[in-house]
Amino acid sequence: MENMEDLVARLAQDVAVVKPAPHPFVLSLKWTGAAAIYLVVSLSISGLRPDWLEKLHSLWFVAEVVALIGIFFFTSLSAALLGFPDQYQKRKLTMAPIWMFALFLLILFFAGQADNPPSPLPVHSFQCTLGITMMSLFPAVWTFYAMRHYASTHYRLAGIFAMLSAFSVGALWLRLHEATDSIVHVVEWHYLPMLFIGVVGIWLGKRLLKW
C-alpha cells in the first residue's frame, strides 16, 4: 500500500494548472479592439462616404455615430459580463445597453426632426440590411466562440447582446460608408432590423451558450 503522504504528493504533482478567466473588462476590450481593427480595415477597402469631412460638422450625424459606438461598447461589455454565472456582481452595468438604446432612439428622433424637408431616399433598400448582416458575421463568430469558453447562466440575454454588439459594428461601417442623409431610410433599413437580430440572438444563445 502506497504511503498516504507520497500519494498526496503525487496527486498534487499531477494536477493541471488552470488558467484563470480574464476579467470581463479585459475580455470586452479585446473584442472592441479586434472590432476596431476590423472596422478600419473594412473602411480602408470600401472607402468612407465622400462627404465625411462635411458630415463631421453635422451635430446629429456625429451624435448618431457616437451613440452607435456606445451601443457597441456596452453590448460587448454586457456580453462579457454575462459570460460569468454571477455577472461578476455587476448586474446594473450589464443592463447599461438599455440606456444607450434609449439615448440612441432620442438622437434619431431629433435627427428626424432636423431632416426637414426630408432628404431623398436612396434607390436601394434591403441591400443595406444585407450588407450590415454580412459585415456582422465575423464579429458574431468570434464573440460567440469566446463566450463558449465561459459559463453563462443567462444565455438568452448573452446571445441578444452578443448579436447586437456584432450588428452595431456592421451598422457603424455602413453609416460611415454610405452617402445618405435620409433618416427614414436609416431607421427602416439600418436600425429596425436590430429587433430581428435580437430574436436571432435569443435562439443562438440557447443553442450555443447553454451548458
Give yes or no for a contact between 68 and 199, defined as CB atoms under 8 angstroms apart. no
Contact by Cβ (8 Å): 161, 75: yes
Write out the three cell numbers for 81.
Answer: 459580463
Q: For residue 54, give the amino acid letter.
A: E
pLDDT at 194: 94
The closest of 144, 139, 24, 19 to 85, measured between CA atoms, is 24
According to the model, what pLDDT value does residue 88 have? 82
pLDDT at 3 over 80: no
What's the first-to-final CA gap in the chain, in angstroms? 40
Each residue's pLDDT tens digit, 54-81: 999 999 999 999 999 999 999 999 999 9
Q: Return the axis-axis angle of helices 126-147 and 155-177, rounded to nearest 10°.
A: 140
- Is the separation of the CB atoms in 104 and 71 below 8 Å? yes
Q: Label residue 59 exposed, middle or buried (CB < 10 Å: 0-12, 13-18, 19+).
A: exposed
Q: What is the pLDDT of residues 169-198, one digit of tens each?
A: 999 999 999 999 999 999 999 999 999 999
Where residue 149 falls among pLDDT bands split at 50, 70, 90? Answer: confident
pLDDT the model gives residue 1: 46
Query: What average pLDDT score do residues 9-15 get?
Result: 58
Query: What are the residue ranges of helices labelled H in 15-120?
Result: 24-46, 52-55, 59-82, 91-94, 96-114
pLDDT above 90 (res 127): yes
Handedness of CA 74, 80, 83, 87 (dihedral sign): negative
Element (H, E) at 179: none
- Do 150 and 83 meet the contact criterion of CB atoms below 8 Å apart? yes
Which one has a higher pLDDT value, 123 or 113? 113
| Residue 133 and residue 166 in contact, taking contact as beta carbons nearer than 8 Å | no
The cell for 101 is 438604446
Strands annotated E in 104-170 = none
What distance in Å separates the CA atoms of residue 211 and residue 195, rounded to the nearest whole number? 26
Query: Is pTM beyond 0.95 here?
Result: no
Q: Between the CA atoms of 153, 157, 163 and 167, what dihedral angle is there, to the nearest 10 degrees?
A: -150
